[in-house]
Chain A
Amino acid sequence: MIEALQFDFMQHALLAGILVSFAAGIIGSLIVVNRMVFLAGGIAHTSYGGIGLAVYFGLPIFLGASLFAVGAALLIAALTLKKRHRMDTFIGLIWAVGMAIGVIFVDLTPGYNVDLMSYLFGSILAVSTQDLYFMVALLVLILVVVTLRYRDILAVSYDSEYAGLRGVNVRFFYTLILILSALTVVIAIKVVGLILVIAMLTIPVYIAEKLSNTLFSMMFLSGAIATLFTLVGLWLSYTYNLTSGASIIIVSALSLGVFLLVSKKS
């Protein structure tokens, strides 16, 4: 593993793993406490539509996927704020339509046959410098928003009705959380792929939730746990020549199992 670090692609992979893990830990915490897991899953799959469009029009993949995912997030926010009880139906619909759009546009692209699997299961060994800039920018944005508006985000997440009565703009912060989730999902696709992204957003968070007294400590503990899982998964993937995204998720799931056993005993 150490000798692998002299390769650029391996350095990029490690850096991307750490950046994405922290973003996923922080945003995953917000997704879990706001009970938006299914919603984030919907956005992840919908963003495949953006990948298809980007491929067809020759745009950068991250740009296409981000715009499409944010669009889906705004649409879901608008629909669910009015008819919350219908949320699951809308998400299921948007989920499927987004993927269908992606598949069709990849079909329409002449001579294009890039491996679909790399988006479904991630391609952390192919992270470019440009990708890294995008990840750094997003993590900085997340940190700024979460630290400066922590109390509003906390109030909306814990008790949105009361937050509204105390003058917090619930609609705004709900939408903001969704947009940040969409962007985080897009960068996490690079690491673990859109099918596995939900596990990355929830498993470390679930463990951290049990160990935390505050949302703030939960977010950063989740980030640290996610980083650990990613690095171990990456090492396994390199040593035994396995798919990196799947290795990360299996490491996470096994760790969760051990955690549950240990915490049940004590």
Chain B
Amino acid sequence: MNVIEIKDLSFAYEKEPVLEDINLKVEEKDFLAIIGPNGGGKSTLLKLILGLNEPKKGTIKVLGKAPKASLRQIGYVPQNTNVNTDFPIKVIEVVMMGHVEGKRPLFGYGKHEVLCAMGALEQVGMADFAQTKIGSLSGGQRQRVMIARALCAHPKILILDEPTSSIDITGQRDIYELLKVLNEHITVIVVSHDISVILEYANKAAHVNKTLSFHDISDKHSTFHTHGNDEHFCEIELLQMLGADNCNTCEEEKPQWRLKP
């Protein structure tokens, strides 16, 4: 079943098109990496999927419905979790913001909401920090809290915008390992610059730069030539290869990575 289906989509903020003829199908339990240069339209595509922008042309279906109608089944982790760190708010309160409207008490939070939020914190390994002020956490810990907040609504799809941009290398790995575990039950979509890391975890990749090119990378060894035994991904070349069908950056040097025909 396709959880997200985008057909012939185009979008422009003003006159200049930002996205053109986008087609994308995301299946259940996919781990999709959306990559591409800055200003290439990655964030715009996310906003379209979240229903924050309306497409100029074409259609988007999320879980078979219009994006806005499915919003409650999407868990979203926004970029820049380092803003507003002075804000006096406890971790558990941040997580409880993830609850969707529904039965709620006249004052404060319901018992079931607290339990659910604690469960989500447990899942991301942050239960011990429930009563801590959010500003005193590290970037990686804060990112986990934001993932817990997204999990609070029991989403079918989890969407993350640059989840590791302000986290050190070990912290990044931890986040991706966590996403890998979550991916056993839900679909994960990540917009990221850290392509060398993300391509290890993703099974599908979409390169967005006004147009979109889609790659199934579930079997990495048949998709890419390896450079000896070195498991290193060369970021720039990878980006360009996924963007274009041919690698044309490697004329002087011997190509290290190339998509198999």
Contacts and interface: CB of A to CB of B under 8 A. Distances in A.
Interface residues of A, number: 23
B97 A217 contact: no
A214 B88 contact: yes
Interface in A163-196: 163, 165-167
A161 B52 CA distance: 10
Interface string B7-44: 00000000000000000000000000000000000000
A165 B76 contact: yes
A171 B88 CA distance: 22
B88 A151 contact: no
B71 A165 contact: yes
A163 B97 contact: yes
A167 to B, nearest CB: 5
A154 B78 contact: no
Contacts of A33: 87-88
Given A154-B89, A162-B78, A167 B100 contact: yes
Interface string B160-201: 000000000000000000000000000000000000000000
B62 interface: no
Contacts of A167: 71-72, 100-101
A212 B106 contact: no
Contacts of A161: 78
Nearest to B98: A166
A218 B109 CA distance: 19
A155 interface: yes
Contact of A212 (B52, B72, B88, B100): B88
A217 B108 CA distance: 14
Interface in B86-101: 86-90, 93-94, 96-101
B86 to A, nearest CB: 7
A150 B87 contact: no
Contacts of A159: 78, 84, 97
A150 B108 contact: yes
B116 to A, nearest CB: 14
A162 B97 contact: yes
A162 B76 CA distance: 8
Nearest to B83: A159
Contact of B97 (A147, A155, A213, A215): A155
Nearest to B109: A151
A158 interface: yes
Contacts of A131: none
A212 B88 CA distance: 6
Interface string B55-96: 000000000000000011000101000001011111001101
Contacts of B93: 154, 214
A157 B86 CA distance: 12
A166 B78 contact: no
B208 to A, nearest CB: 21
Nearest to A219: B88
B151 interface: no
B86 A209 contact: yes
A148 interface: yes
Nearest to B97: A155
Interface string B133-173: 10000000000000001000100000000000000000000
Given A147-B107, A148-B106, A162-B78, A213 B88 contact: yes
A162 B147 CA distance: 13
Contacts of A163: 97
A218 B133 CA distance: 13
The 5 A-B residue pairs whose C-beta atoms are closest, nearest first, are A212-B88, A167-B101, A218-B88, A155-B97, A213-B133
26 contacts: A147-B107, A148-B106, A150-B107, A151-B96, A151-B104, A154-B89, A154-B93, A157-B87, A158-B87, A158-B97, A159-B78, A159-B84, A159-B97, A162-B76, A162-B78, A162-B97, A162-B149, A165-B50, A166-B98, A166-B99, A166-B100, A167-B100, A167-B101, A212-B88, A214-B88, A215-B89
Given A165-B76, A215-B89, 6 more contacts: A154-B97, A159-B97, A161-B78, A166-B100, A213-B88, A213-B131
